[in-house]
Amino acid sequence: MWAVAAFNFAIGPLSTFVPIYILKLGGNAITVGLAFTLYNLVAIPASAFWGFLVDITGWRKPIVVISYGSASLILLGMYFAQGVYDVALLYAAIGLFAAAASTPLNLLVIEATEKRGWPSAFSLLNLLASAGVTASLLFAATYSSAYSIRGMMLYLAAFGGISTLMSQILMEEPPVPLERRSLSLREEALNSRLLFSPATWSSHCPTSTLGSTSNGMERSTLR
């Protein structure tokens, strides 16, 4: 789980600094918009694809390692990018692989934690992700004010590599894996999944589950 913080450090500043990187390479508002459009066109179906792959293979750790390792290599590729379209395509590729880790991570939390510990486990997962993003934004703002964004990509790629090693060393496959749909039956897991990928996850949840979860959240809010 601790690899989540390092990975979010690696990809945290991208949505802010990719547009600046594109503009510095001679791009304009149109090419920036193209980069974000490509990213979303890839990331949304990618979440469904990786989720189905988890169901078919039962893999957890291998998909997280693939996700983190591939994203790290793509960040390294951004350092060598020569044009705006190179950056746009690489950013879309980040969307493809960054989406892969969400489902297996949520399943690992459920499978490795007793039911009574789910709220705290998912809170820790979200805390680590948020801490990684916050720290990376502070780093990126400080570094880019004195050095180039291109050079910053090397540091982000290095943190991606660290997250890959951490996931390879620290993560363990569960003895009895759960199906992905079981996430929708657990409110803590569903809330966590919705936080990271709301658009793509809702289509996989039974309507009754979404309704009961929503009602539970409303009752909690009213209290």
Task: Please report which residue ranges of 58-117 form alpha helices under DSSP H.
Answer: 61-80, 84-98, 102-112
Burial 170-179 (b: 16+ CB within 10 A, else e): ebeeeeebbe
On the question of pLDDT at 198 being above 50, the answer is no
Q: Are 74 and 126 in contact (CB under 8 A)?
A: no
- pLDDT tens readout for residues 99-113: 999 889 988 888 888
What topology does CATH give the domain 3-222?
Growth Hormone; Chain: A; (1.20.1250)
pLDDT in tens, 26-74: 999 999 999 999 999 999 999 899 989 988 888 889 999 999 999 999 9
pLDDT tens profile 130-179: 999 999 999 999 998 889 999 999 999 999 999 999 999 988 876 655 55
Phi, psi values for residue 147, rounded to 5°: -130, -175
**pTM score, two decimals?**
0.77
Q: What is the pLDDT of residue 196?
A: 52
Identify the residue whose tokens are 């990975």.
7
